[in-house]
């Protein structure tokens, strides 16, 4: 999306025919985009050398059912689509500046508008948010229908997914109401496991993936920016929080020279029978592989999807190298897959290298299903990376206290807790104490994280967790303490809102 709303508003459509007809203003913008792409390619040549070219992805000892996905902007919409379509293998989804499943509502009936209806909705209601909960119920109905037909996995599997949602209050492109709709969509399916969803809205980021640095560095922006490369420094380690919300407490990231390897691969192998161009995908994708994974140690896979104008052609290797995923992956046996789009000015019409979340490839509603061209391509990549998976070893079944419990993030009304796995645990019980010092059970979960909600802003709390194995509750963990953030001041000018500490 990003500046797509500005571009698409300048485009006049004809019903069917030879493709999009653009006016002189849009031609100028597209030519400028091509110039930017050429400049960015020059930047590509200047970044540190990647590992030697590899035609195909290698298979690693990574169980496909331990996979996860996250994305920013159009990548966030695609992450929702992929995680919903393939909920049988995706255990967690990170959504940064994105919205609900089937937001653009594209299907074959859009022939009556020359297939411009989805573009109008994508750049209109999907940027501003649905007008009512009734529209969100349409997204649920669509998902239910696709599950019933077998085009996507059973939606009961969403109940076990860990969901991270993020809206920066300086985001001038995607409104909070859009991400609110994503929360409503997920909560419909989570039901009693609502603690699996954590929603952060108190960081003053612009439309961006957020990294930890406090001061502006080369290649990234100040916290409230809404400009390329759409990576903002806000003192907030978003990649680490996403990965820990999905997988539980992890080892600290490697902030020094990484030991793993960043490798190129040929995406055309995975787009077949189509060419990458036909799907608005790049010829080359990237994968980060830790040393242990190259030695066939047990590993897991996270798919990180860039947003519009964040592909290699537009911003060089910044998204692949500077968003924080690799530092966490290097010390936690996580393989990070970075598929790449590319801009396309004709057919398909995708001048900003966005992921297909409004059916720009074939103008049908299969773009949200397993058979969707880009979804099946990403799945083929995931299948290749996990092809070397070996059977897991039996787990220990003795109850014990969780060794590590951490508060990995707080908002004004919630806290995100994560801990290390206790082998053989069937369930974890989370308890919280407020100002009165009395602990109360606030939830139970099968996973290794829990979003505790309904908290008061700027208030301190304590938590501990216990493991229940074969019906026997073990000892509680050491208490952890955290204070919730302040509620951001009301502001109707995103991009210029005052940053709240």
pLDDT tens column, 464-475:
999 998 888 989
Q: Give the DSSP letter string of 150-215.
A: TSS--GGGGGG-EEEEE--TT-SSS-HHHHHHHHHHHHHHHGGGGGGEEEE------SSEEES-SS
Radius of gyration of the chain (CA): 22
Whether the pLDDT of residue 325 is over 90: the answer is yes
Cβ atoms of residues 419 and 402 within 8 Å: yes
Query: What are the residue ranges spanned by the domains of the chain?
Result: 4-385, 405-483
Give the highest mean pLDDT range of 20-34, 104-118, 275-289, 417-431: 275-289
- Cα gap 265→377, rounded to integer Å: 13
Cα→Cα distances 385→158, 288, 289, Å: 23, 11, 10
pLDDT, residue 213, reads 77
Whether the pLDDT of residue 108 is over 50: the answer is yes
- Looking at every residue in the chain, the average pLDDT score rounds to 88
The residue with greater pLDDT, 308 or 216, is: 308
Burial (CB count within 10 angstroms: exposed 0-12, middle 13-18, buried 19+), residue 476:
middle
pLDDT, residue 331, reads 97
- Cα gap 348→350, rounded to integer Å: 6
The answer to whether domain 405-483 has CATH 2.60.40.10 is yes
pLDDT, residue 49, reads 46
- Cα gap 71→77, rounded to integer Å: 7
pLDDT, residue 116, reads 84
pLDDT, residue 224, reads 97
Whether the pLDDT of residue 50 is over 80: the answer is no
- Cα gap 206→211, rounded to integer Å: 12
pLDDT, residue 216, reads 59
pLDDT, residue 109, reads 87
Entry pTM: 0.89
Instruction: Classify strands 284-289 and 261-266 as parallel, antiparallel or unpaired.
Output: antiparallel
Q: How many Cβ atoms from other residues are within 10 Å of residue 408's Cβ?
A: 22
pLDDT, residue 426, reads 78
Residue 246, phi then psi, degrees to nearest 5: -80, -45
Q: Which residues are catalytic?
A: 73, 171, 207
- Cα gap 385→382, rounded to integer Å: 5
Whether the pLDDT of residue 350 is over 80: the answer is yes
pLDDT, residue 1, reads 54
Whether the pLDDT of residue 425 is over 80: the answer is no
Q: What is residue 499's DSSP assignment?
A: P
Cβ atoms of residues 285 and 381 within 8 Å: yes
């Amino acid at each position: 999306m990003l500046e797509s709303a500005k571009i698409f508003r300048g485009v006049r459509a004809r019903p069917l025919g030879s493709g999009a007809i653009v006016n002189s203003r849009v031609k100028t913008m597209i030519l400028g985009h091509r110039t930017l792409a050429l400049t960015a390619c020059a930047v590509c040549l200047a970044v540190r050398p990647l590992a030697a070219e590899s035609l195909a992805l290698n298979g690693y000892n990574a169980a496909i059912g331990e996979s996860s996905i996250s994305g920013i902007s159009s990548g966030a919409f695609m992450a929702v689509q992929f995680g919903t379509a393939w909920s049988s293998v995706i255990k967690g989804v990170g959504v940064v500046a994105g919205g609900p499943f089937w937001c653009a509502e594209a299907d074959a009936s859009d022939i009556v508008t020359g297939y411009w209806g989805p573009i109008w909705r994508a750049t209109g209601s999907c940027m501003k948010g649905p007008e009512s909960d009734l529209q969100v119920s349409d997204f649920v109905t669509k998902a239910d229908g696709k599950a019933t037909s077998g085009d996507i996995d059973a939606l009961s599997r969403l109940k076990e997914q860990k969901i991270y949602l993020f809206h920066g209050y300086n985001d001038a492109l995607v409104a909070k109401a859009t991400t609110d709709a994503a929360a409503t969509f997920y909560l419909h399916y989570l039901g009693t496991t609502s603690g699996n969803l954590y929603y952060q809205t108190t960081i003053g980021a612009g439309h961006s993936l957020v990294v930890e640095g406090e001061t502006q560095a080369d290649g990234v922006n100040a916290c409230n920016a809404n400009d390329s490369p759409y990576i903002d420094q806000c003192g907030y380690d978003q990649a680490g929080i996403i990965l820990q919300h999905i997988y539980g407490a992890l080892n600290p990231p490697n902030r020094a020279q990484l030991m793993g390897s960043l490798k190129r691969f040929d995406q055309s192998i995975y787009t077949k029978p189509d060419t990458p161009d036909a799907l608005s995908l790049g010829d080359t994708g990237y994968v980060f592989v830790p040393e242990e994974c190259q030695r066939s140690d047990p590993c897991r896979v996270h798919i990180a999807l860039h947003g519009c104008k964040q592909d290699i052609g537009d911003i060089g290797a910044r998204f692949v190298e500077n968003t924080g995923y690799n530092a966490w992956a290097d010390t936690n046996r996580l393989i990070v897959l970075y598929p790449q789009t590319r801009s396309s000015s004709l057919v398909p019409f995708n001048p900003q290298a966005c992921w297909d979340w409004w059916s720009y490839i074939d103008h049908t509603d299969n773009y949200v299903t397993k058979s969707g061209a880009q979804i099946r391509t990403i799945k083929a990549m995931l299948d290749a990376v996990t092809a070397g998976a070996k059977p897991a070893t039996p787990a220990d079944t003795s109850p014990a206290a969780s060794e590590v419990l951490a508060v990995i993030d707080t908002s004004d009304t919630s806290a995100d807790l994560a801990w290390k796995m206790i082998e053989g645990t069937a369930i974890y019980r989370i308890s919280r104490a407020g100002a009165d010092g009395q602990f109360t059970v606030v939830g139970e979960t099968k996973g290794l994280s829990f979003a505790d909600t309904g908290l008061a802003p700027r208030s301190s709390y304590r938590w501990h967790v216990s493991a229940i194995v074969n019906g026997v509750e073990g000892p509680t963990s050491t208490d952890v303490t955290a204070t919730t953030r302040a509620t951001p001041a009301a502001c109707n000018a995103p991009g210029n809102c005052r940053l709240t500490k």
